Amino acid sequence: MASSETAKWMSALTDDQAGLFTFFNCVCLSDMYGDGDTKLVAAHVGSSKEAHGQCPLLPFMEFPECTLLFRFNMRLKVYKGVTVVGESALADMPTAVVSFYNEKITLPAIGVASGSYIRIYKNLKPFYQYNIPSAPIHKVEQEAWTKTCVKQLTHDQLYTVIQSLANEISPKQLTPLSQTLLVTKPEDRSSFIEYYAIPKYVNNLQNPDATSGHILNTILILLSAYVHLSARGAAY
């Protein structure tokens, strides 16, 4: 291969100090600054840390006598080569990232699905935010929490039901409350269930995270197709 062609490629590397933890659907390529240089955009899902009395998936709620893992320092990062050239803080766990053009002549926007929201970024600043409605809650999950609330199921039985359901349909399809239960330490599990297995929480279960990533991709694919067709129509 000629040297001019070789310069187009970057050798693979391993860097244990890169500090980037992400998933395949949280990475995209984008010429987000309009300088003709396509950059890597990645949503860093953060690091784990133990916290006493704080729930990782329900961060604004507290419960006594529990120590759980939660994530912090979640950021949207832009790389030029292997160098970070820009970043923006994320409030919730990211599940999908997409680059798209939402106008005929403009810089690309970055769509990020995180938590129960879809946020649209321009120049790494959030411009729009859409709230994703709750996905249907699995009948078995709702019934298990309801029965525990009225003392028809023990704490161990509730955990067994939720764990079996997670193995059957995937933990991602469960509510944040059940996901948190699954990662709670065994010695803290009873306190967690005792605190949340009450009508205040059981009757208002929400499941926004199960669909935000899929909705983001669907919306942005349709939007990109619409803009592309509009641009073609304007050219005729």
Q: Is the pTM of this model over 0.85?
A: no
- pLDDT at position 21 is 83
Mean pLDDT of 54-59: 44
Whether the Cβ atoms of residue 209 and residue 172 lie closer than 8 Å to each other: yes
pLDDT per position as a tens digit, 103-121? 665 788 898 887 677 888 9
- pLDDT at position 235 is 40
pLDDT per position as a tens digit, 15-36? 667 778 888 888 999 998 888 8
Burial 20-58, CB ≥16 within 10 A → b, else e: beeeebbbbebebbeeeeebbbbbbbbeeeeeeebbbbb
Mean pLDDT of 64-86: 72
The per-residue DSSP string of 169-218 comes to H-GGGS-HHHHHHHHS-HHHHHHHHHHH-SHHHHTT----TTTHHHHHHH
